[in-house]
A and B are shown apart, each in its own frame.
Chain A
Amino acid sequence: MKIALTSLIVALISVISLTDKHAPVLQEPQDEYQVEKGRENNIFAEDNENCLVCHGEEYYQLSDTAQDKSERRIMPSNYYVDRDEYYQSNHWSFGCLDCHPYDFEKFPHPTSARLEEPFHCNDCHGFDEQYAHYHFDEITEEYNESVHDDIEGFSCWKCHDPHSYEITIRTSENLEETILYDNNICLECHANYDKFQLLSSRDEIRIVSSHDWLPNQAAHFKSVRCIECHTEISDSLLVAHKLRPADKAVKRCTECHTSNSRLLATLYKFQSKKIRNDAGFVNGVILNQSYVIGANRNPAINMLSFIIFGGVVLVIIFHIFMRLIKK
């Protein structure tokens, strides 16, 4: 039934879109995860190949028909789009010209098109009722207060590559994969000095040594995202975007290792909200799916242990009393 509905939605979208070739295929947010992604479901896939024939390859062929000359050249990495990643990304259903100027259809690309200001997240997502629940306006506000905002040339795209970014935390069934995916976004610059120094003149950050203070470092890196400690908690955003300077990062263990763990408002926010709504149990998600020392507290076990402990102490006191009166 779901597949049939999905196909119907895709077919309807296809028909509507054919009437206006360049109309972006925006899905209803609730359908976002129901439509099956992939090149075969993108109605612009064939048109996109006009671009991807070069930009989807690591090498492209530059030809001059007048002089009957051609040369094979490396496609610069920032102009390269991986087809597989693109058709699995959040923007998988778009045609290239939904976001890029139509003049890019011409080759060589005109300078005017190349100098045109590219779209930003809020050009599509901001001030739109359909996407209001993602709070893009608040994300922008947080970003503007974040350390990344001070870096010239930085934008949303640096972390959320529009050609590959895939939101994971909402749909995650494997938290470990989500953590790896999200941390790799940070590490792409922070663990790659070649890339890092394109935007910053700071000394190289050595992630491992700068986190020397962190006990069981490998387990932490595997179990939590960088942003758990490096952002300020946001009440309304699912993923906080206000990145704080390194000296303001969380360093106190008990911010996470406690029953009222910070992780409930960060990493486990989506799941804990869901479980809280379903079962009304605040740290259920930590109790059932993961393990955080100090945060995993089963009230039943705690209560039982207090009762047993109290019982034993009372028996001992009674025994002492009996010994004293029967002396």
Chain B
Amino acid sequence: MSNRIYLYPVWIRIWHIINAILFLVLIFTGIALRFAGQENAVSLIRFDQAVAWHNVAAIILTASYVIFVIGNAISRNGRYYRIKKENFWTELIAQFKFYAFGMFRKEKHPFPVNEERKFNPLQKISYVLAMYAGMPVLIITGFGLLFPEILIQQFFGISGLLITDVLHFSIGFILSVFLIVHVYTCTLGQKPGTLFKSMMNGYHEEHD
């Protein structure tokens, strides 16, 4: 017996797959740019091609991000990202404990998915940080690197471009790590493939 909840509307699923593909392109080309010409490294893409792909993917990602923000603002999906102050840390620790120990002891999920709660507290905070803090910084610094003439030349004696680059790389790296953790946590459903299936058909399935 299973409960099916329709949690992932079509627009979210389309946005999600586009976002995922673009992110992979950006990580791959970003690494190629960052470590270009490294001795003993096998270069899978030419530098100029990596620049072109990175720029195009970044511009599409920006457009897709704008759609995501607007979509969340005008649809019901936005409410899943709202963080409440009360019990914030307690819930976060409870969820962490579940991932670290509880799930191995076959304990019940402390925050089961329902129509009002798509994300557990740990997912919620990481998604909010990734999408509403990391992404804007990544996009703004990316545009700074694309149009270096708009940047402050020197900031306390350090190149403005360099500061922008360090920020862009650092946030890009953090979001890449987030992506890996995100993909892994998606295998923590009822079966390893359950949550991936949900992202395809839109339905979250709970088995009794």
Residues of B within 8 A of A272 (CB): none
Residues of B within 8 A of A258 (CB): 36-38
Contact A215 B184 (CB under 8 A): no
Contact A259 B37 (CB under 8 A): yes
Q: Separation in Å of the B30 CB from the closest CB of chain A?
A: 10
Q: Does A291 contact B (CB under 8 A)?
A: yes
Q: Does A90 contact B (CB under 8 A)?
A: no
Q: Does B199 contact A (CB under 8 A)?
A: no
Q: Does B159 contact A (CB under 8 A)?
A: yes
Question: Which of B12-20, B46-54, B65-73, B109-117 makes up part of the contact surface?
Answer: B46-54
Contact B37 A312 (CB under 8 A): no
Q: Which of A219, A253, A309 has the most CB of B within 10 A?
A: A253
Q: Separation in Å of the A222 CB from the closest CB of chain B?
A: 8
Contact B51 A215 (CB under 8 A): yes
State the CA gap A305–B35 with chains docked (Å).
13
State the CA gap A284–B145 with chains docked (Å).
20
Contact A257 B47 (CB under 8 A): yes
Contact A253 B161 (CB under 8 A): no
Q: Separation in Å of the A245 CB from the closest CB of chain B?
A: 22
Contact B37 A298 (CB under 8 A): no
- Number of A residues near B (Cβ < 8 Å) is 32
Q: Does A289 contact B (CB under 8 A)?
A: yes
A182-218 CB contacts (< 8 Å) to partner B: 215, 218
- B166 contacts which of A255, A293, A301 (Cβ < 8 Å)? A301
Residues of B within 8 A of A305 (CB): 173
- The interface bits of chain A over 218-242 (1 if a CB of B lies within 8 angstroms of the residue's CB, else 0) are 1100000000000000000000000
A275-327 CB contacts (< 8 Å) to partner B: 287-291, 293-294, 296-298, 301, 305, 308-309, 312-313, 316, 319, 322-323, 326
Contact B159 A290 (CB under 8 A): yes
Contact A296 B177 (CB under 8 A): no
- A260 contacts which of B37, B149, B181 (Cβ < 8 Å)? B37
Given A301-B169, A312-B181, answer yes or no on A290-B161 (Cβ-Cβ < 8 Å). yes
Q: Separation in Å of the A299 CB from the closest CB of chain B?
A: 13
Determine the residue in chain B with the shortest Cβ distance to A317. Answer: B184
Q: Which of B52, B103, B148, B162 has the most CB of A within 10 A?
A: B162
- B159 contacts which of A219, A288, A301 (Cβ < 8 Å)? A288
- A287 contacts which of B37, B38, B162 (Cβ < 8 Å)? B162
Q: Which A residues are within 8 Å of any B CB, using their own CB?
A: 215, 218-219, 252-255, 257-260, 287-291, 293-294, 296-298, 301, 305, 308-309, 312-313, 316, 319, 322-323, 326
A/B interface sample: 10 pairs, CB < 8 A: A253-B51, A290-B161, A290-B162, A291-B148, A293-B145, A294-B33, A294-B35, A298-B166, A301-B169, A319-B184
Q: Which B residues are within 8 Å of any A CB, using their own CB?
A: 33-39, 43, 46-48, 51-52, 99, 103-105, 145, 148-149, 157-159, 161-162, 164-166, 169-170, 173, 177, 180-181, 184
